[in-house]
Copies of this chain bind each other. A is one copy, B any other.
Amino acid sequence: MIRAWVTHLRSSGKIAFAVLRDGTGICQSVFVKSQVPAEVWARFAELTTETSVEITGEARAEPRAPGGVEVGVTDLTVIGPSPSDYPIQPKEHGIDFLLDNRHFWLRSARQRAIAVIRNEVEQGIHDYFYERGFLRVDTPILTAAIGERSGLFATEYFEEGNAYLAQTGQLYGEAAAAAFGKIYTFGPTFRAEKSKTRRHLTEFWMIEPEVAWNDSNDNMRLQEDFVSYLVQRVLERRTTELAELERDVEKLRNIVPPFPRLNYTDAVALVQRKGSDTKWGDDLGAEDEALIVADYDKPVFVFNYPKEAKAFYMKENPDDPRTVLCDDLLAPEGYGEIIGGSQREDDYDKLVARLAEEGLQRDAYEWYLDLRRYGTFTHAGFGLGLERTVAWICGIQHVREVIAFPRLMHRLTP
């Protein structure tokens, strides 16, 4: 007995097929007119796409059937009819239409494959850190005025004034690393930015490990080991879904440590040689990133950016104080930055000076400064963008497809 939804129907007049999906896979059911009661044959004729049914019959191996099994039907009950205007039809739909009907679009084989791979990546993240003794710490979404400054969603918080939706859990993660040694966060983060690129959502999930006593080099080693683990795990466990997405898995097999490392100065020279007019001191844009990764078949680290291009909390590079000890990890195949990481400034005076330079209100950061006042410590961490990582592994062009109900500048529903 199977309870499922109808995805595909065909009939020759004497024999009829209904392909069913139950969320875990698909199964073909076969109705033979001469072998089923007349009312069952009549009920088959009522079936439409996405009708929910209960089917009774005998399962048997059938190499020609999708999934290798079919069910010879003896009984059929219609549970929920589905009017013939079911929005998603076997034709090309525009992206706005598909997103308006996201609750139905998720039922397609391709969207299911993406969801299964996302789930595998998420479980992989938890297993990776659990097995290595990291504590997961759930940092707050509602925060007072801290973190990055622009693009904040604000909400009134009782008599406390405005609260802002977190853009990062990092500062809290640093406090937790002082308490627990190795930690990671896993939660939604928010950007109220008017970006309409294929890499931006207003709400996306970030994973932010923070490790006491790690320096910038340890940090990059952790990143390459972690990312490689995730890719190899999906390759091992989600072959069917990668095939459904027609992903070129050879490109993924290659993702093993070490990843190439390019310091910022060399990266600028490289993109200049390729015609970019980026100058030393500028941040690297998406076009520069594409020029860099074109030379590699693995993710590439670009490390030690100029101070002014990066956030206040990154540690000054003792060998070149114009720069900070940080890295961006650029995915291959043009998927762009999937990680930003850094060793954190652990010198109290330098951090106070950086806050002032950035025009940030020091009083909001007193508890963060406390971590440098009392037993300061070398530490480093990074943020991995979940949707960008899953999009890359899936080979999907736009991050809007790798989260169940994407939030974009012009999209708040369904």
Contact = CB atoms under 8 A, between A and B. Distances in A.
A232 interface: no
Interface stretch (A67-75, A79-87, A219-227, A317-325): A79-87
Nearest to A174: B103
A165 B144 CA distance: 16
Interface string A165-193: 10000001001111111100001101010
A203 B141 contact: yes
Interface in A363-379: 367-368, 370-378
Given A140-B407, A205-B138, A412-B163, A374 B104 contact: yes
A119 B136 contact: yes
Interface string A368-400: 101111111110000000000000000000000
Most chain B CB within 10 A, of A165, A372, A373, A404, is at A404
Helix, strand, loop or mixed for chain A's interface? Answer: mixed
Contacts of A238: none
Interface stretch (A108-116, A275-283, A326-334): A108-116
A181 B22 contact: yes
A103 B414 contact: no
A46 interface: no
B139 A404 contact: yes
A32 B155 CA distance: 58
Given A141-B203, A367-B414, A405-B140, A373 B83 contact: yes
A301 to B, nearest CB: 25
A107 B414 contact: no
A287 B310 CA distance: 54
Given A367-B414, A404-B139, A180 B123 contact: no
A175 B103 contact: yes
A302 interface: no
Nearest to A194: B158
B23 A138 contact: no
Interface of A: 3, 5-6, 22-24, 50-52, 79-83, 86, 101-104, 106-107, 111-112, 115-116, 118-119, 122-123, 126, 130, 133, 135-144, 153-160, 163, 165, 172, 175-182, 187-188, 190, 192, 194, 202-203, 205, 212-213, 346, 367-368, 370-378, 403-405, 407, 409-414
Given A83-B374, A104-B370, A115-B176, 10 more contacts: A23-B179, A24-B182, A50-B375, A51-B375, A80-B377, A141-B165, A142-B202, A143-B412, A172-B404, A188-B188
